[in-house]
Structure 1
Amino acid sequence: MGIKDTAAEWRVNATATPFVGNKTSVRTDEVVMPDGTVVKRDYQVHPGSVAVLALDEEGRVLVLSQYRHPVRQKLWEIPAGLLDVPGENPLHAAQRELYEEAHVKAEDWRVLTDVYTTPGGCDEAVRIFLARGISEAEGERFEVEHEELDMELDRVPLQELVRGVLAGELHNNCLVVGVLSLAAALAGEGVDALRPADAEWPARPFAA
């Protein structure tokens, strides 16, 4: 028998939103514990995200380096971005992010894994896709701004990224989860056993 996460919702006596930002907000809930105690829980409310592990024919992963101010580091990452519209199809969002950040398109898409990034303090859900059959996108490059102006692009062999993750040299959540998930898939049943790109996603339901 396997284990899996299950839906559950404890009673909330009251809720408030003390901060509303451009993309996210902070919510305070009064949650009733199993013993009847009522405690306050503060957490970030997030629209959700998608990320893309793009793998080329030589077994290299498309990665980018971007400055992340909260941690004061330039992190190597895989293309990723927000679900800008409630109910947005995550595959369409992933295809958009791959084009905007790397000017690349892909022929074959699979769901690699779904994660909650920091479920103790944020409700962000991320769907990480595997994209194969990648090639240069047509048309003009997307005009970047802010942190993306300083972005570097590279293609790195998967096993080199695995080594960097285990050595503590690479820290971005989506890159770490995506790289190790792909390595596990390749060592197991193979990528053809992965879920289809339109697999349901209860954390962020979407229209086809």
Structure 2
Amino acid sequence: MTIKDTAQAWEIRATETPFVGKKTSVRTDEVLMPDGSVVRRDYQVHPGSVAVLALDDEDRVLLIKQYRHPVRQKLWEIPAGLLDVPGENPLHAAQRELYEEAHVKAEDWRVLTDVYTTPGGCDEAVRVFLARGLSEADGERFEVEDEEADMEHARVPVDELVRGVLAGELHNNCLVVGVLALVAARSGEGIDALRPAQAPWPARPFEA
């Protein structure tokens, strides 16, 4: 048996959108179950996101620390952001986020992994990139606001991050998944075997 996620869409008998926010909304679908029953499923509709595990020449990961109101914590994270435009090229979005949040650019980009953050209650899909060959971005720094105005920055060795993840000290999903995926890639076929930066992404199709 091949262990691989597969596309499938069960019949929707009715749908409504009881809430529409600035970036996301909540949808309620009446879904036909295999036993013939119809149940209601509420979930957040999300445009999708990108995240960047930026690795420097000293094997350190570029991190930001940002307040996240829903969990009432300041979390260490990797640069990340929304796909603001439907069909937006995820690589371009990732490059934008790395510039805006860290004023950094990268020469080498690869797809590290693709994940659904909370598939039981949200359709958010995230593509996590590995970026190497880091240098300071050109031009002036991007002017941040709101929670981002209070961000902290750090560069932390990969081994230290693995320890923090396994000790329950780091909780951001993109950071956790990205760091562990990097370690897995290194211990497997190597970084060169990762997918190219423009690899297809069925969860959020785009034009290269």
Q: TM-score range by the shorter chain?
A: over 0.9
Q: Which residue of 1 aligns with 2:119?
A: 119
Q: 1:73: how far off?
A: 0.1
Aligned equivalents of 1:100 and 1:109: distance in 2? 17
Aligned equivalents of 2:24 and 2:158: distance in 1? 33
Post-superposition Cα deviations, 1:110-160, rounded to whole Å, max 9, x if no partner, equal 000000000000000000000000000010000000001110000000010
SS in 1 for 2:101: helix
Aligned equivalents of 2:58 and 2:188: distance in 1? 20
Q: Which residue of 1 aligns with 2:145?
A: 145
Post-superposition Cα deviations, 1:24-63, rounded to whole Å, max 9, x if no partner, equal 0000000000000000000000000000000000000000
Q: Which residue of 2 aligns with 1:133?
A: 133
Q: 1:193: how far off?
A: 0.3
Aligned equivalents of 1:58 and 1:165: distance in 2? 20
Q: 1:188: how far off?
A: 1.1
Give, as a single letter, the amino acid of the residue that structure 2 aligns with 1:4. K
Give, as a single letter, the amino acid of the residue that structure 1 aligns with 2:60. R
Aligned equivalents of 1:205 and 1:47: distance in 2? 12
SS in 1 for 2:87: coil
Aligned equivalents of 1:197 and 1:51: distance in 2? 12
- For normalisation by structure 1, the TM-score amounts to 0.99
Q: Which residue of 1 aligns with 2:64?
A: 64
- For normalisation by structure 2, the TM-score amounts to 0.99
SS in 2 for 1:93: helix
Q: Which residue of 1 aligns with 2:205?
A: 205
Give the alignment of 1:178-193 within 5 angstroms.
Answer: 178-193=178-193
Aligned equivalents of 1:95 and 1:58: distance in 2? 21
Post-superposition Cα deviations, 1:158-194, rounded to whole Å, max 9, x if no partner, equal 0100000000000000000000000101111111000
Give % identity: 84
Aligned equivalents of 1:49 and 1:39: distance in 2? 29
Q: 1:2: how far off?
A: 3.5
SS in 1 for 2:122: coil
2:93 corresponds to 1:97: no
Q: Which residue of 2 aligns with 1:51?
A: 51
Aligned equivalents of 2:129 and 2:2: distance in 1? 24
Q: 1:197: how far off?
A: 0.2
Aligned equivalents of 1:184 and 1:76: distance in 2? 21
Post-superposition Cα deviations, 1:50-95, rounded to whole Å, max 9, x if no partner, equal 0000000000000010000000000000000000000000000000
Q: Which residue of 2 aligns with 1:10?
A: 10
Structure 1 segments of 4+ aligned residues over 4 angstroms from their partners: none
